[in-house]
Amino acid sequence: MGLLFLPFRVILTHNLVAMKNIPRVDLTDFLSKDSSRKKTFVKTLGEAFENIGFVILQGHFLTAAQTDLLYKEIKCFFDLTEAQKQAYEVEGHAGQRGYTSFGKESAKGRTEGDLKEFWHFGQYRKKENGPVYPENIVVKESDAFNAIGKEVFQTLEKTGQSILQAIALHLKLEETYFDEYIAYGNSILRAIHYPPIKNVPKNAVRAAAHGDINLITLLMGAQGKGLQVMSREGEWIDAVAEEGELIINMGDMMARLTNNKLKSTLHQVVNPPKELWGSSRYSVPFFMHPSAEMPLNCLEDCVSDITPKVYEDCTAGEFLEERLKELGLKK
């Protein structure tokens, strides 16, 4: 199905300047009735996604109260006993809903499992004669966990829709190009727990270097450092958001669609210094997926003699199926 990711040194061009810092943008500029503010937002966002594949977003729809409550509830969930958590690990869903136990997922091309356990909330909307997704799993120990998970899922989905509208304008598409594909998309809100490290890891890190599968990822401010992004020069740089900010990055689906015009950047979560091994780390990314039928065929405007097509045609559903197998979540 073609390459999943081209390292930066392969696609480097002379007219692109390396970005040492991840740019910040404010969503209120895009939502403003001031056309110049909106245009500037689209330009800044698009250039960042072309150069490093990441931005830090302010002015989004997620509130501090929602963030605090979700983190409180996910900490309570991961503090449950192993038996209680494993009751929510459902076979046959490829990890798309509910609990996935420690070390079960690995990055593409690696055999060592990542040092994490996680929970998935999925799409809540249902469409008559539309895609059929697994039902969300209800945690009986906490109604608040279920409720805030749904609320944050829908809030980040709304935020992601605005980001995709800006991306569409940058790509000279209709502003609503992505809307129909994400309205009932197979998006995932993942609550991750990186437990304390008790023994020296053998070739394993909290999350090995990888590119995300989806269109875009919206990451809530993680509680603890560790996220790193690869620069165009192949150097790892820390990606640190301030309180109330989101980190947004491109996924492999967007890279395929744009023939690598927008970059799906390698990133990782490294292990902390040894003196901090006893601490947990929590992180909440929202992986924005389209519905399975969306074509990921390279856009015509992104293909030229200088940038020949590097990916074979496929749908989002076909691509997701392939990647879930590579991650060890589906056989």
Q: What is the pLDDT of residue 316?
A: 95
Q: Quick check: is 3 in a domain?
A: no
Q: Quick check: is 133 in a domain?
A: yes
Q: The domain that contains 110 carries what CATH number? A: 2.60.120.330
Of 53-57, 106-110, 140-144, minimum mean pLDDT range: 106-110
Cβ-contact 282, 222 below 8 angstroms: yes
Of 97-111, 119-133, 234-248, minimum mean pLDDT range: 97-111
Residue type at 118? F
Q: What is the CA radius of gyration of the chain?
A: 19
Q: Quick check: is 50 in a domain?
A: yes
Q: What is the pLDDT of residue 283?
A: 87
Residue range 323-328: mean pLDDT, rounded? 76
Cβ-contact 50, 58 below 8 angstroms: no
Band of the pLDDT at 8, cuts 50, 70, 90?
A: very low
- What is the span of the domain harbouring residue 174? 8-12+22-326
Instruction: State the total domains in the chain.
Output: 1
Residue range 84-97: mean pLDDT, rounded? 85
Band of the pLDDT at 12, cuts 50, 70, 90?
A: very low
8 versus 33: the higher-pLDDT residue is 33
The set of residues, in sequence order, having a beta carbon less than 8 Å from that of 47 and lying 6+ positions away, is: 23
Cβ-contact 67, 148 below 8 angstroms: no
Is the pLDDT assigned to residue 147 strictly greater than 70? yes
Average pLDDT score over the chain:
83
Distance CA 21, CA 237 (A): 8
Cβ-contact 38, 26 below 8 angstroms: no
The set of residues, in sequence order, having a beta carbon less than 8 Å from that of 201 and lying 6+ positions away, is: 115, 271
**For 174-280, where are the E strands, in sequence order?**
188-194, 207-210, 216-223, 227-230, 236-238, 246-250, 267-269
Distance CA 136, CA 263 (A): 31
Q: What is the pLDDT of residue 123?
A: 95
Q: What is the pLDDT of residue 35?
A: 96
pLDDT digits (tens, 9 = 90+) for 37-87: 999 999 999 999 998 888 999 999 999 999 999 999 999 999 999 999 999
Q: What is the pLDDT of residue 167?
A: 98
The set of residues, in sequence order, having a beta carbon less than 8 Å from that of 94 and lying 6+ positions away, is: 324, 329, 330
C-alpha closest to that of 114 among 127, 128, 102: 102
25 versus 274: the higher-pLDDT residue is 25
Residue range 278-299: mean pLDDT, rounded? 91
Q: What is the pLDDT of residue 279?
A: 76
Band of the pLDDT at 165, cuts 50, 70, 90?
A: very high
Residue keyed to tokens 């937002």: 41
Q: Quick check: is 1 in a domain?
A: no
Q: Quick check: is 208 in a domain?
A: yes
Of 20-29, 46-55, 106-115, minimum mean pLDDT range: 106-115
Provide DSSP, 183-208.
TT---EEEEEEEPPP-S--SS--SEE
Q: Quick check: is 17 in a domain?
A: no
Q: What is the pLDDT of residue 218?
A: 95
DSSP 2: B
What are the backbone angles phi and psi of residue 148, rounded to the nearest 5°? -70, -30
Is the pLDDT assigned to residue 26 strictly greater than 50? yes
Burial class, 269, CB count within 10 angstroms (exposed 0-12 / middle 13-18 / buried 19+) = buried
Q: Quick check: is 167 in a domain?
A: yes
Is the pLDDT assigned to residue 330 strictly greater than 80? no
Is the pLDDT assigned to residue 230 strictly greater than 60? yes
Band of the pLDDT at 90, cuts 50, 70, 90?
A: confident
The set of residues, in sequence order, having a beta carbon less than 8 Å from that of 262 and lying 6+ positions away, is: 46, 49, 50, 53, 167, 250, 254, 255
Q: Quick check: is 331 in a domain?
A: no
Q: What is the pLDDT of residue 325?
A: 78
CA 145, chain centre distance (Å): 21
